[in-house]
Structure 1
């Protein structure tokens, strides 16, 4: 970094330090300060400021507000590998919860107390503790980038500890409930999606994005490469070009993380079901002819077109309510993990099968299920010992 000093008046000196270019506009920036004293004092002051700049004590972010920085951060996120849906959620969090509260604060003036006040104010707006924690994590992540860019010397959010939400009870079905559910959906459009969620632990978006080219019938495996999601798209409204009317469209997206991109072994019953489903789909394809849309999808509307995620959920809820199971479609994925735990499968193997970021994350999610397994193990020990005695 460069800098210089110049004489401004009797015993008055201007210290000029060249700052990095504005991260948003790319324009040149300088920091000007005035001191009184001798030329030697000016030399010492310049050396001190250059040292502070190199060590991060002198902020590069003067005049950059939290709101403006978040806009720049969102722009960089839009060009990264995160999905449009995740980016839209980040934008909503920044524009709805963070910027209105502390957006006018200069980034270099942001303090842990400001972040703490933000976190403390969110429950008053009706946000749950889980949502508050999510807002905090997004903001913390954004500020971490500011530290890496040397816009901040430390992350002020690191000193804040938001309250963690209580572990929510996850509604799952046991083996009897799973059998009852599979019997109910036999021969319906729900049969394949339910079998893949319950038998392989796939996410809804992964099921709807699964292609026949991703299924290896000989090896009995499915490779998860893409998802099908509803993505919010902003378009200029006909009434005004300034306002934007949101609409949603189905998009095929790559999986969110490298752990999500995985190969899953399918139960023989699911492999058999997929074989029958593919044969049935081939017949419909011939009947429809030009009316068939070729997306190579395992789960489709009946004409090859993708199924909307919310449509699948609504259809499943009707069946779940009719059977009195009280489980959501996503709950089938949890049910899969629960059945594996009860079958003695390790947490690490379950984590890899579900495509979680880590085994520790899986353990946190299924802590209450793990306690149930431990209780069963303790009871089994007593039964063995009593039998031997």
Structure 2
């Protein structure tokens, strides 16, 4: 199946159109899809190939009959799945199946209005969904309908003139240095102690810790390099490259972390010798006694169990990352250094997330400045 392409002339310039067979109607008459207004032949070819793909799968629906639900199901499989990480695809698919389609799925694609979408946001907010979650749905709708505009299925994207709820940054829950030390004391004899040390002393994400390999640890130069992370997806546990250049970073570590890593190496060596061929070599720093990856849910369960035993405030595992950043900023470390350790793409992100800490630091700085002037002779 191939399309035919033609350059068309208009007063404002040339555009491209295509026509492609989409099968026979109930009378046996050949049906064709025609699209116009593409700036380049390449754009027309991409749109044509998409229709051919839909026809071959039996999912093609003429724009006037296509509902938002039908379109979203095709978009997530034919387009989004090829562009995003598997874990992101899983998140998109869940939201499309369980949030967007039940509420908006029956609306014809070309009849979807900003009011439909704005009312949907208001309803979901009233039902208790967070502003972050509604914004996530907004991003999916906007991205998918941008594609529909590119394919000439709709003239404009109605999401562009809607307003999702404003996200207000809440003050992060963190531990003090004393609370972090109490927690770490309760894990000293447990194999997962190294995971908690890395979280609190480096600000690494859980997936980065569970995906850390020995080849990424330069103990001689006291440096850890983030080169992969562990993710749980619909296809099982997988290892993925960092999602951005900033996330693929090097983190300096101190002598006590080097000592803890060397101790962990000795523990693993004993396990290997004990289990022999039964040991599964994945070269992971944090793993089971058999060498297999540890799932995030198992790490969380032990983390919360230890919190109860230690008697420290209950926080999420991700909040150990906030603890690391908050302590560093409070101790006077430059925000750019903290940003680089966390793997933020911009220092402004760090300043925004930890604005409450920066406010306190600014107040202290103002007092110090004033005291310096008053005591000067």
Please report the TM-score for the alignment, with normalisation by the length of structure 2. Answer: 0.80
The answer (yes or no) to whether the contact 2:66–2:108 under 8 Å persists in 1 is: yes
**1:101–1:118: 8 Å Cα contact kept in structure 2?**
yes
Matched residues in 2 for 1:212 and 1:117: separation? 51
Cα distance in 2 for residues equivalent to 1:199 and 1:155: 45
Checking the alignment, whether the CA contact within 8 Å between 2:179 and 2:312 is kept in structure 1 is no
* Cα separation, 1, equivalents of 2:324 and 2:314: 16
Aligned match of 1:181 in 183, 190, 195?
183
Distance 1:284 1:79, change over 3 A: same
The alpha-carbon distance between structure 1 residues 98 and 286, as it changes in their structure 2 partners (threshold 3 A), is same
Q: Verify: 1:373 aligned to 2:373, yes or no.
A: no
| Greater mean alpha carbon deviation, residues 189-198 or residues 115-124 | 115-124
For residues 33 and 291 of structure 2, the distance between their equivalents in structure 1, rounded to whole angstroms, comes to 56
1:306 aligns with 2:293: yes
Structure 2 match to 1:297: 284
Q: Shift of residue 216 of structure 1?
A: 1.2
Q: 1:127 to 1:298 in 2, by over 3 A?
A: same
| Alignment match of 2:340 (pick from 349, 352, 366) | 352
Q: Which residue of 2 aligns with 1:283?
A: 270
Q: Which residue of 2 aligns with 1:43?
A: none
Correspondent of 1:30 among 31, 34, 51: 34
Asked if 1 retains the 8 angstrom alpha-carbon contact of 2:183 and 2:312, the reply is no
Give distance in 2, aligned partners of 1:22 and 1:341.
63
d(CA) in 2 for partners of 1:260, 1:120 = 34
Alignment of 1:96-111 (within 5 A): 96-111=98-113
> Contact 1:262–1:355 at 8 Å: present in 2 too?
yes
Mapped to 1, the partners of 2:204 and 2:66 lie a distance apart of 43
Greater CA drift, 71-80 or 294-303:
71-80
Q: How many matched pairs? A: 336
- 1:79-118 to structure 2, matched below 5 A, reads 79-80=82-83, 82-118=84-120
2:335 and 2:20 map into 1 onto residues whose CA distance is 48
CA distance in 1, matches of 2:21, 2:174: 52
Structure whose alpha-carbon radius of gyration is higher: 1
Tell whether 2:172 aligns with 1:170: yes
Task: Give the deviation of 1:152 after TM superposition.
Answer: 4.0
Q: How far apart are 1:153 and its partner, in Å?
A: 4.1
Distance 1:258 1:20, change over 3 A: farther
Displacement of 1:121 in angstroms is 1.8
Moved more, 261-270 or 86-95: 261-270
Alignment match, 1:78: 81
Q: Output aligned runs, 1:230-269, within 5 Å.
A: 230-233=232-235, 249-269=236-256
Q: In the superposition, relative to structure 1, how do residues 199 and 140 fare at CA in structure 2: closer, same or farther (>3 Å)?
A: same
Q: Distance in 1 between matches of 2:141 and 2:312?
A: 40
User: Displacement, 1:208?
Assistant: 0.6
1:340 matched to 2:328: yes
Deviation at 1:199, TM superposition (A): 0.8
CA distance in 2, matches of 1:349, 1:153: 46
Provide the secondary structure at the position in 1 that maps to 2:318. Answer: helix
> Quick check: 1:18–1:29 contact (8 Å CA) kept in 2?
no
Aligned equivalents of 2:345 and 2:97: distance in 1?
28
* CA–CA separation in structure 2 for the residues paired with 1:176 and 1:385: 33
- Structure 2 unpaired stretches of 5+: 9-15, 23-30, 40-46, 48-61
- Residues 45-72 of structure 1 show CA distances to partners (whole Å, capped at 9, x for unaligned) of xxxxx6xx358xxx99544332222122
- SS in structure 2 of the partner of residue 29 of structure 1: strand
Q: 1:146 to 1:221 in 2, by over 3 A?
A: farther
Structure 1: stretches of 5+ with no match in the other structure: 5-16, 32-49, 234-248
* Post-superposition CA distance 1:281-319 (Å, at most 9, x none): 112211211121101010111121111111111111122
Quick one: which of 95, 105, 128 aligns to 1:126? 128
